[in-house]
Amino acid sequence: MSILPIPTTDILNIELENSLVYNTTGQLIKESKEKIFNLNGLAKGIYHVQVITDKGKATQKVVVK
């Protein structure tokens, strides 16, 4: 899994198909099946991006500036 750029201002490029974004309290904020994930409108802070595939899940911390 690769998520770029970190930190970001509004766009994440994710090299997988299914992705979820959670805030630090575990609340689901966004969901996308696109490889480019628009985070425009999210407050600055730390989020966790979870990518789910048929082989399992991977989570990575993302900083939104």
CA 57 to chain CA mean position, Å = 13
pLDDT, one tens digit per residue, over 18-40 is 788 999 999 999 888 777 778 88
Residue 47 in this model has a pLDDT that exceeds 80: yes
Cα four-point dihedral sign 52, 53, 59, 64? negative
- The structure tokens listed for 25 are 């309290």
12 vs 7, higher pLDDT: 7
Residue numbers of the domain that contains 44: 3-64
For 62, other C-beta atoms within 10 Å of its C-beta total 21
With a cut of 70, say whether residue 1 has pLDDT above it: no
Q: How many structural domains compose the chain?
A: 1
With cut-offs at 50, 70 and 90, classify the pLDDT of residue 15. Answer: low
Phi, psi of 11 (to 5 degrees): -125, 135
31: CATH: 2.60.40
